[in-house]
Amino acid sequence: MSITLDQVTKHYGGAPVVNDVSLEIGDGEFFVLLGPSGSGKSTLLRAIAGLSGVDHGRIALHGRDVTHIAARKRGVGLVFQNYALFDHMTVADNIEFALRVRHVRARARRQRRQELLRLVALEGMDHRLPAQLSGGQQQRVAVARALAHQPEVLLLDEPFGALDAKIREELRRTIRQVQRELGITTVLVTHDQDEAFAMADRIGIMNLGRLLEVGAPHDLYVRPATRFVATFLGAANLLLARSTPDGIQLGASVVAPAGHVAGAPEHEVVAVVRPEEVELAPTRAALAARYVAEGVIEEVVFTGALERLRVRLTDGAAEPLPAFAEGDANTALQVTRSRHAQRGFEVHAGQAVAIGVRRVHVLSTPLSSFTACAASAPLAEALSRQPLLAELVARMKTRVGMRVEPQLGVPNAACETAAAFVGTTVIAARPEGAQRAEWLLRRGAQDLLILPEQASAPQRVLIHWMGEAARSATLAVSASVLRHVPAEAVYVGIFPGDADSARHPPGMRELLDARSEAQAAHGLEMRTELRFGEATQELSARLADAPAQMLIVGVTDLARFGARFGALLDGGSWPVLIVQRDAA
């Protein structure tokens, strides 16, 4: 491996900017780190270059641990967005800089310089000053300069950011060509997905300091695992669907045979529908793809080869299809159509159409939507606007529904609403958080968020489960939550008794198993902590330790729930997400 990152973490003023990133980049690979600004991608690149230290974790280049080695000894070449050329030196002096530092003889220097200038197509420019070159030419010089000392790794930090579209295109091609010719391992940082698609062998997508997914461009586009990647890499409609024994039900039809686990209850899932996978027809019968819903064309934008449409969903199905397009909460579907499709069926704004879907991809996230549950409609309404919940909803591009249960918390009372619980149910922590939580959990709520009024975005998420049956689900939920908040994940392992009796290897093994499962199955990097004593007591103590913490806890049985969870749910200012799974 050329570059190995192991749990690299970097904080600025308490908040993690790079959060537990582990990654391996192969020899000669062109790897693109893609993410919005502030996602930590540049900081990660600077950490690889050695320009900023890391707080935790390890960085190795070609098997050599360089975590504590100075930038100048790492053998990397770095190219900056603003070129960072030495303005008082000629092109030749700029390129030869690294060779002069290494006391290379003048003849060898000149030879290498000419080789590099040919490589970046700037022959004969040796004696110009940077100020006399265009932006594109300056960046070529910067690339040549970064390659002069034959580094093992080339790092490019938004190298095309300051260039206009046409020159950008040209320079992309040059850099890709140079990279292939030299076979040098290259990491490019960008926020531009076109650039990532055009250049990458593999793409790693970062958000909020976490490396969310890594894969070949095509795989990430077709089978994203997370909402963020689905919507950041190209346009996507995120739709709520149901996983049923027959398959994935989206609106009116079962649209995909997706792997529903036999015997598992029906549940809500998040489906990704790319704009180009939507088909429009005048009537349901005229659709070639599976019918989903009726809609009305809201907007038609002609962009040359493609036509972009926004289609508002009307009903169409017995159960209306809750959809949310990228960015806004209304139910307009993004659709793109080729010239061919446009000729087959011409549309205009205001026209009613039947909507079909050719292909859907179901995300593995267990968190689909939220339902604010309270004893009255105004309370539920108020709860749905709680800041932390609102932030989660906005970040997850999902929606929050409402459910009124007048008998909430009254022992032996039945649910007012007959429908099953959908998505994650949310209740206020006060009053009687524990009692209401138990009431809902016993009546079928699986994922339950208990939210104190003043709770805000956590900086640390504690993870624990009581009973192995809840392990996988708890990890999956945790991973999903942590993709949307910039917090560190800590698995709290709690063993009965005092520290002495816990030298038993099974305890440690459980801890390590949990960590590797989180990493392998969900791409979630966790710290681990050991505590000794009674589980809920220890968790309460740990939560009271520091502000801005959240707990995600898996439970399998509800015996003595009130006694066990009273302190945890009634006393604190921390949000608790309970994941209930039956001990099968």
What is the residue type of 281?
A: A
Which amino acid would we find at residue 564?
A: R
Nearer to another protein, 18 or 568 (CB): 18
88 belongs to the binding site for another protein (CB under 8 A): yes
| Helices 535-545 and 561-570: angle between axes, nearest 10 degrees | 0
Strand 185-190 versus strand 576-580 pairing type: unpaired
Judged by CB under 8 A, the residue of 128, 176, 358, 395 near another protein is 128
Burial of 70 (0-12, 13-18, 19+ CB in 10 A): exposed
148 near another protein, rule: CB under 8 A = yes
Under the binding rule (CB under 8 A), the answer on residue 3 touching another protein is no
Site string for another protein, 284-323 (x = CB under 8 A): ----------------------------------------
Q: Is 132 in the site for another protein (CB under 8 A)?
A: yes
- For residue 374, give both structure tokens: 């309270």
Pick from 6, 24, 51, 58: which binds another protein (CB under 8 A)? Answer: 51
Under rule CB under 8 A, residue 126 binds another protein: no
Min dist. Cβ of residue 84 to another protein (A) = 4
By the 8 A CB rule, do 370 and 401 touch?
A: yes
| Segment interacting with another protein (CB under 8 A) among 60-68, 69-77, 229-237, 254-262 | 69-77
Given candidates 97, 197, 345, 532, which one binds another protein under the rule CB under 8 A?
Answer: 97
CB of 133 to another protein, least distance (A): 10
567 binds another protein (CB under 8 A): no
Choose the binding region for another protein from 11-19, 142-150, 216-224, 298-306 (rule: CB under 8 A). Answer: 142-150
Q: What is the DSSP letter of 420?
A: P
And the tokens for 183?
């076979």
In the set 50, 215, 224, 295, which binds another protein (CB under 8 A)? 50
Is position 333 an interface residue for another protein (rule: CB under 8 A)? no
Contacts of 98 (CB under 8 A, 6+ apart): 145, 148, 149
Per CB under 8 A, 548 contacts another protein = no
Residue 537, helix vs strand vs coil: helix
Give which of 373, 473, 390 is closest to 429, Cα–Cα: 373
CB of 49 to another protein, least distance (A): 6
Say how many CA atoms lie within 13 Å of 129 toward its Cβ. Answer: 5
In the set 17, 98, 396, 448, which binds another protein (CB under 8 A)? 98
* 86 interacts with another protein by CB under 8 A: yes
Contacts of 325 (CB under 8 A, 6+ apart): 237, 238, 310, 331, 332, 333, 334
Which one of 84, 296, 317, 404 is in contact with another protein (CB under 8 A)? 84
Which amino acid does the sequence have at 118? R
Q: Does 129 bind another protein (CB under 8 A)?
A: yes
Amino acid at 359: R
User: Residue 257 burial (CB < 10 Å; 0-12/13-18/19+)?
Assistant: exposed
Q: Which residues have C-beta within 8 Å of that of residue 148, sequence separation ≥ 6?
A: 77, 95, 96, 97, 98, 99, 112, 113, 116
Handedness of CA 495, 546, 8, 525 (dihedral sign): positive
Q: Show the 3-state SS of 101-123.
A: HCCCCHHHHHHHHHHHHHHCCCC
The structure tokens 């000794």 sit at: 532
- Stretches 36-44, 141-149, 268-276, 375-383: which one binds another protein (CB under 8 A)? 141-149
For residue 140, the minimal CB distance to another protein (Å) is 15
**Interaction of residue 74 with another protein, rule CB under 8 A:** yes
Q: Closest distance between another protein and the C-beta of residue 77, in Å?
A: 7
* Strand pairing report for 400-404 and 370-374: parallel
Distances (CA, A) of 222 to 230, 234, 268: 9, 10, 21
The residue with tokens 């902590």 is: 529
> Does residue 127 belong to the site contacting another protein (CB under 8 A)?
yes
Name the DSSP class of 415: P
Q: Is residue 78 a contact residue for another protein (CB under 8 A)?
A: yes
Closer residue to another protein (CB): 132 or 454: 132
With b for 16 or more beta-carbon neighbours within 10 A and e for fewer, the 491-504 pattern comes to bbbbbeeeeeebee
Site for another protein contains 361 (CB under 8 A): no
* Choices 143-151, 267-275, 372-380, 523-531; region in contact with another protein by CB under 8 A: 143-151
Question: Tokens 């049985």 map to which residue?
Answer: 557
Indicate the residue among 84 and 558 with the shorter CB distance to another protein. Answer: 84
CA dist list (Å): 221 to 194, 258, 276, 308, 577: 12, 18, 12, 19, 31
The answer to the question of residue 101 lying near another protein (CB under 8 A) is: yes
**Region from 94-102, 168-176, 245-253, 359-367 binding another protein, contact rule CB under 8 A:** 94-102
Question: Among 28, 38, 60, 80, which residue interacts with another protein (rule: CB under 8 A)?
Answer: 80
Q: CB of residue 10 vs another protein: minimum separation in angstroms?
A: 16
Judged by CB under 8 A, which of 64, 68, 72, 509 binds another protein? 72
- Strand ranges, E, within 344-419: 352-357, 361-362, 370-374, 400-404
CB of 24 to another protein, least distance (A): 22
Least Å distance between CB 33 and another protein? 17
Q: Does position 76 bind another protein by CB under 8 A?
A: yes
In angstroms, give the least distance from the CB of 88 to another protein.
5
Query: Which residues partner with 308 through β-bridges?
Result: 301, 336
Compare residues 72 and 385 and give the one whose CB is closer to another protein.
Answer: 72
Peptide bond into 431 cis (omega under 30): yes
Using the rule CB under 8 A, give the single segment among 74-82, 366-374, 402-410, 435-443 that binds another protein: 74-82
CB of 305 to another protein, least distance (A): 39
Does 149 bind another protein (CB under 8 A)? Our answer is yes
Residues that bind another protein (CB under 8 A): 49-51, 70-74, 76-78, 80, 82, 84, 86-88, 90, 97-98, 101-102, 127-129, 131-132, 142, 145-146, 148-149
